[in-house]
Structure 1
Amino acid sequence: MTGGPAATQPAASASHAPKDRWEDSPVDRDVLRAHEYCTQRCLLGLQRHGKLDEQCPNVERHRVNGSTHHPTTVEELVEQIQLGLDHNLERAMPIVGPGYGRPARPGGSGAPFKVVSPRFGYAVVGKGTLCCIWPRLEREADVYTQILMAAQGSAVPVFLGKINLQQPYELEGFGRVRHMLLMGYGGEEIGMVTTVDEWDKYNHQATSAHEIEDLGVMHKDLALRNVLWNAELGRVMIIDFEACELVLDRIAERPAWVPEELASRPSQQMSLGRFSIESRGHCRFHQVCCHYDPDATCPNRKYGLPP
């Protein structure tokens, strides 16, 4: 195994008080490995408080008392996943390296995990990252939820939310994963797909890129690792937006973190990095300093953290 959680687990936070102890159920890594991902249509239905997708491989796990609707909400699912991981980090399985099927390489900002909620069997992807990178990914989450909502389930995966791990997951070759973005499984790296010819790949990629551009997002890093073939939908999905640029006059509703004076400029295009949540190398959630060599300029006092 390429890394993993430490041996001891912290108690669940008070905000996640257990009700029926489902979170204490044992984890079988072979079962987790074989558990299929939920479909994009399934998660889109969950997001929109709609019906179950009867084609989702986990639909019978989702179904309660014969209902055709989802048994929970996106917000509750994120809380369930948070609680499950607080109790047992083995519920998260890296999709990287030997023993995990086809390798999915950790990118510069995140490493992919399969995450399954034991309560209703939802299986999604967690983009895990380090404390020092988290501010950039928090802003990426804002792009999904405040700008690309109309493209979710088509050009980009359905985005569910973000979590902070109580205990780090030690991932060899990447670091101490302590935060995750949760989203639907987008598919296989397009370069690994052999069932679609190259011309069709190009056209599908262009279609998805144009869809997000129309919403005001220029990706700027369409490397193969960020372009996925979704067999369920028969189209390309694009991921990883932390390096994107925003075309401000195309965005339908200005996010609060984009200054009005910038948004009012015609054809203004700006890097998302300009709007990153300020951190200066600190994680306020975990109260740690992320500097490699903190010195007298370390602003920990600003955050009430230890030097």
Structure 2
Amino acid sequence: MVVTITRRKYTRPLIDHPIYCGAVNVNELETRQGQSGSSVATRRNQQNEANRTHVTKRSRQRGLEYQYCTQKCLSGLINDGPIDHDCPNASLHGRQPINHATFLELLWKQLEASLDDGIWPLGIGGSRGVLFKVTLLEFGYTFVSKGTVRAFVVDLEHEAAVYARLKPLQDTYVPVFLGATDLQSMGKTYYYDHRVYVVHMSFMSWGGTRPDPHGGERLREKAALSLRAIHNNGVIHGDVRGANMLCSDEMDGIMVIDFERALLVPSPRPPLSPARSPIKRLRTEDPGQERSSSKRGLQHLLASDRAAVSHLFEE
């Protein structure tokens, strides 16, 4: 089998300066503009203030009431499992848990009705998205959303495909992926910041807190364990950094996040006969050389991931 490896094309970051989840507050970007950018900073501060006033008083108060649901809770939601009674919101979920399809339907209706209630911007983000805390108000399910602009919808759709590949690892090595919605389909746009108009949102469990950057060998071993599991499920992360790791006290491990640049490695399968093959192979003088070259490229990318882990959390 010939493995074709395609690198994700780099595109301009979501906002003017690349900001990484948990590392930079969006509102702090203005302080980096310098004197020459003071007018831009003023306009952005005004826009930020306008956005904040859109959130109702009731919504703000309710946001403080909810803690994030546990991994086990949200894993049970998507897999028709029982309610996790250790979840801080278990009493709100009801005696009979709703199924995943009902959850998505209710969430869609809630967002269609209002982008003010049950959604709170966290002021942090990455190169492809900004983060929100979201609660399905009717049942108290509370989780994280990554929102993005039109130009980067394809990146979040790719990330959703990666989470689908990693479903066996969800709630242990990666967050639980709950689904996604297109705000444009309901005639909505979330005006997050200057030139950051969110039109697409992905939903996932809260993965944890930022690990100590000097956590040493103990954290490095946990990160390596998570990465090995991801590799074994046919995914190469491609952007292994401390900013893309979360420390999960619930799972006593490291959760890996941000898969927009990840590569999906085709699963081994029996080769189709030439008459049945839907894709014509490119002819080469030496097919064996082609397979060897693809394998070397794959091994190089895997080695790059592993090498990056070996330098994380250095004391």
Fold shared, TM-score > 0.5 on shorter chain? yes
Larger strand proportion of the pair: 1
* 1:148 maps to amino acid: L
Q: Please, which of 155, 162, 170 is the counterpart of residue 143 of structure 1?
A: 162
Q: How big is the shift at 1:42? A: 0.3
Change in CA separation of 1:82 and 1:3 when aligned onto 2, cut-off 3 Å: farther
Indicate which of 112, 135, 142 corresponds to 1:116: 135
The TM-score with structure 1 as length reference comes to 0.67
Q: Which structure has the highest helix share of the two?
A: 2
Structure 1: give runs of 5+ residues left out of the alignment. 9-24, 97-104, 253-258, 271-307
Evaluate the alpha carbon distance shift between residue 3 and residue 200 of structure 1 in structure 2; reply closer, same or farther with a 3 A threshold. Answer: farther
Query: What is the rounded CA distance, in whole Å, between the counterparts of 2:112 and 2:246 in structure 1?
Result: 30
CA separation in 2, counterparts of 1:251 and 1:169?
A: 43
Bigger RCO (CA 8 Å, 6+ sep): 2
1:16-55 map, 5 Å: 27-55=58-86
What does residue range 1-307 of structure 1 map to in structure 2 within 5 Å? 4=51, 27-64=58-95, 67=96, 70=97, 72-90=98-116, 91-96=118-123, 105-145=124-164, 147-165=165-183, 166-172=187-193, 175-191=196-212, 197-249=215-267, 267=295, 269=298
Counterpart residue identity of residue 136, structure 1: D
Amino acid at match of 1:188: T
Mapped partners of 1:173, 1:156: distance in 2: 31
Asked if the contact 2:207/2:248 (under 8 Å) is kept, the reply is: yes
Aligned equivalents of 2:99, 2:239: Cα separation in 1: 32
CA RMSD in angstroms, aligned pairs only: 3.0
Aligned length, in residue pairs: 230
| Offset of residue 246 of structure 1 | 2.4
| Identity value in percent | 32
CA contact (8 A) 1:115 1:126 kept: yes
Pair 1:235–1:129, CA change in 2 (3 A): same
Pairwise CA distance, 1:85: 1.5
2:162–2:264 CA contact under 8 A, matched in 1? no
The C-alpha deviation readout for 1:155-185, integer Å capped at 9, x for no partner, is 1111110012232112226701111111111
Change over 3 Å in CA distance of 1:163–1:113 after alignment to 2:
same
Letter matched to residue 44 of structure 1:
S
Change (3 A) 1:163 1:238: same
